[in-house]
Chain A
Amino acid sequence: GAGVSQSPSNKVTEKGKDVELRCDPISGHTALYWYRQSLGQGLEFLIYFQGNSAPDKSGLPSDRFSAERTGGSVSTLTIQRTQQEDSAVYLCASSRSGTGTNRLYGYTFGSGTRLTVV
């Protein structure tokens, strides 16, 4: 697609429920990133995909968080047993390549999913 698409744009869920957030990167972009933007923590790196592999998942805050990417394209971030502290905007970004100097050419971000846990 023309840009990075994220769905849903807003999600309200009850504490303890599971949620899935979806990211559709720009066609042909092999590198995909998830970040979380919250009031207290700013923008935090969560996970990086190169193709379908996740070489760096060091930013996932707990084992309740997981992510996968299929077909080198769509990625899903899953949060199990949501807690109120999970409330944040989850941003997805993609770039042309995660390797070589291309990796340094900045990302294209989606508009994010605003997650509210009540």
Chain B
Amino acid sequence: AQSVTQPDIHITVSEGASLELRCNYSYGATPYLFWYVQSPGQGLQLLLKYFSGDTLVQGIKGFEAEFKRSQSSFNLRKPSVHWSDAAEYFCAVGAGITGGGNKLTFGTGTQLKVEL
């Protein structure tokens, strides 16, 4: 069964600083990987996704992530963090399920705090 580990529960960065959120996955085949962001009281918003091809993927809000098969990682990065980026970030791996569909297995999330 697939699994996702986000080692950092909380991260605090200063506004304007760079950011890297870690994600490690376990999956027996080619993984389909996602990063979602959740602001307080909101649902999850898709930031970016990786299926195949270029291992560096660009997403919304200036985020990018790099897939490294050898390290089973899919870390999320942003060169310069804005105060509005404060939220909880979830990494997920997708797998096909019986009858179609795509079941996502989520990590436990990383809470990002941005200091002004």
Contacts and interface: CB of A to CB of B under 8 A. Distances in A.
Interface of A: 4, 31, 33, 35, 42-43, 45, 48, 50, 53, 55-56, 91, 93, 95, 97-100, 103-112
* Chain A, interface SS category: strand
12 contacts: A4-B43, A33-B103, A45-B103, A48-B97, A56-B97, A98-B101, A98-B102, A100-B100, A104-B51, A109-B43, A109-B45, A112-B43
Given A42-B106, A42-B109, A110 B43 contact: yes
Name the interface size band of chain B: 20 to 34
Contact of B99 (A53, A93, A100, A105): A53
A32 to B, nearest CB: 9
B100 A104 contact: no
Interface string B83-108: 00000001000101111111111111
B28 interface: no
Nearest to A103: B102
Interface of B: 32, 34, 36, 41-46, 49, 51, 90, 94, 96-109
Contact of B41 (A43, A93, A111): A111
Nearest to B108: A42
A55 B44 contact: no
Nearest to A112: B43
A43 B94 CA distance: 13
By Cβ-Cβ distance, the 8 closest A-B pairs, closest first, are A55-B99, A109-B43, A43-B106, A99-B100, A98-B100, A98-B101, A103-B102, A109-B44
B25 to A, nearest CB: 15
Given A106-B34, A106-B49, 11 more contacts: A33-B103, A42-B106, A42-B109, A45-B105, A53-B99, A55-B99, A56-B103, A98-B102, A104-B49, A111-B41, A112-B43
